[in-house]
Amino acid sequence: MTPRPDLHDRLREARAQREALQRTRVRRNVSRRDGARLEVDGRWLVGFCGNDYLGLSQQFGVVAALQDAASRDGIGSTASHLVCGHHAAHDALEREVADWLEYPRALLLGSGFLANLAVVQALLGSDDVCVQDRLNHASLIDAARLADCRLRRYPHADAEGALRQLRSVPDGAAMLATDGVFSMDGDIAPLRALMLAARMQQALVYVDDAHGVGVLGANGRGSVALSGLGAADVPLQLVTLGKALGGYGAVLVGDDTLIQHLSETARPYIYSTAIPPAQAAASLAAVKIARREEWRRVKLRESIVRLRTSAAAHGLELLPSDTPIQPFICGSEARALAFATALEDAGYWVAAIRPPTVPEGGARLRITLSALHGAAEIDGLIDTLSRVRDRFRDTPAPAPVTV
């Protein structure tokens, strides 16, 4: 009998390979937060790598809603939604999000990852096809693989490519799934063109708008609304509560038939404990603030313009993006890590993003903006990044500390 491989040996080999490629990752402990500033390892840094786009994670009314609800309802829901875990706070949040985005119905889940798994597994089977943008979030790719449907991927933001892929599988049900805003590039999907391609092939359009809702469109209704589309065009959409809304969890919005089916059959929904009612109450408060306080989006847009204008003035080339995600391509992993380390030494925390999260050769600094950032912080970041770029321009990047 051939000996089985030893898993610990395999893991050690995989770790050694990641070390050789500069792809190891470590967690950093944040001990305190104050606006856009974070205390890390006893030192305060200005954070430019989170997704708190509207600055709601520490907003007084949101925190107060969490505390008040926890004092009444405790810290947990104690069960799944379909057993005894569905609380009035969950129902109120679903209704508010559905009303905000102008969809008939909503369904609350524990995370965006779970929501994407739920959608594809509950709606598609082995005879069906899921057509996706090549740069979609990992959760959408994993969802299609776990659903055992046929997965077809088209070149990034290429609606004609999507149409070709739909036509390549003429039988079975079809879904066209795309991010609304791409999390590593910051660009917006061509949703109108994709919707037309899907309509020609009788495919259901599903948009994961994790990074769009709260930020884009009228009243922050996201990339679908920004594109002039609605529930009739995009029957199913994902909203995460942990990005612009500053909390945790996710909400699917769709028509009655889709949401009812998901609530009764989606395994990640049926077999997961509902999020704490207090967290739902906090997210409800955040949604209401996001709907009414347009100044947060105005300030965010002004910050995006300021950062891009300053970057251009310093000769720093950012990827094209009108969203809070502003990537600066470094190329190699070593260079991205060296840039991130130098920025941290100067007091700025910007994450170095490396393969496999981004394509080979596409390691980058993923700069993200929040309504919490001030003009001086943005100017300071760009000034420092320019100096770092000049320092490494004609010399190989030094071996950095892994961050």
What is the distance between the alpha carbons of residues 43 and 58, in angstroms, rounded to a whole number? 20
Residue 79 near residue 274 (C-beta atoms within 8 A): yes
Token pair 């057509």 is found at: 131
List per-residue pLDDT tens for the chain, 403 residues long.
888 998 998 999 999 988 888 888 888 889 999 999 999 988 999 999 999 999 999 999 999 999 999 999 999 999 999 999 999 999 999 999 999 999 999 999 999 999 999 999 999 999 999 999 999 999 999 999 999 999 999 999 999 999 999 999 999 999 999 999 999 999 999 999 999 999 999 999 999 999 999 999 999 999 999 999 999 999 999 999 999 999 999 999 999 999 999 999 999 999 999 999 999 999 999 999 999 999 999 999 999 999 999 999 999 999 999 999 999 999 999 999 999 999 999 999 999 998 888 988 999 999 999 999 999 999 999 999 999 999 987 655 444 444 3
- Please list, in sequence order, all residues whose beta carbon lies within 8 angstroms of the beta carbon of residue 391, skipping any fewer than 6 positions away: 342
* CB contact set of 298 (below 8 Å; sequence gap of 6+): none
CB 175 within 8 A of CB 120: yes
Binding site per annotation, positions for pyridoxal 5'-phosphate: 112-113, 183, 211, 240
Q: Which amino acid is at 275?
A: I
SS3 state of residue 98: helix
Q: Are 354 and 321 in contact (CB under 8 A)?
A: no
Kindly provide the b/e burial profile for residues 129-151, where b requires at least 16 CB atoms within 10 angstroms of the residue's own CB.
bbbbbebbbebbbebbeebebbb
| Cβ–Cβ under 8 Å, residues 103 and 231 | yes
Beta carbons of 286 and 246 less than 8 angstroms apart = yes
Closest CA to 91 of 107, 111, 77, 75: 107
- Token pair for residue 27? 């967690």
Phi-psi domain of 361 (left: phi exceeds 0; alpha: psi -120 through 50; beta: other): left
**For the purposes of burial, counting CB atoms within 10 Å of the CB of 168, is it exposed (0-12), middle (13-18) or buried (19 or more)?**
exposed
Instruction: Give the C-alpha separation, 90 to 127, whole Å.
Output: 35
CA dihedral 58, 236, 326, 24 (to 10 degrees): 80
- Measured CA angle at 139 (ends 134, 144), to 5 deg: 70
C-beta of residue 253 within 8 angstroms of C-beta of residue 98: yes
Query: How far apart are alpha carbons 323 and 51 in whole angstroms?
Result: 11
Domain 60-292 is found in CATH 3.30.930.10 = no
> Of 318, 327, 337, 314, nearest to 397 (Cα)?
337
Strand 37-40 versus strand 363-368 pairing type: unpaired
Residue 80, judged by CB atoms within 10 A of its CB (0-12, 13-18, 19+), counts as middle
Helices and strands (DSSP H and E) totals, the chain:
14, 14
Residues sharing a CB contact under 8 Å with residue 170, sequence separation 6 or more, in sequence order? none
Task: Return the active site residues.
Answer: 183, 211, 243
User: Binding site, residues?
Assistant: 25, 112-113, 137, 183, 211, 240, 357
- Which helix (H) or strand (E) is 13 found in, with range? helix 7-20
The domain defined by 22-54+294-392 folds into Aspartate Aminotransferase, domain 1 (3.90.1150)
Q: Tell me how long the chain is.
A: 403
Do 22-54+294-392 and 60-292 share a fold? no
Q: Where are the beta strands (DSSP E) in 52-119?
A: 105-109
DSSP summary character for residue 172: S
Reference 351, options 398, 389, 387, 403; nearest CA is 403
What does the domain layout of the chain look like in residue ranges?
Answer: 22-54+294-392, 60-292
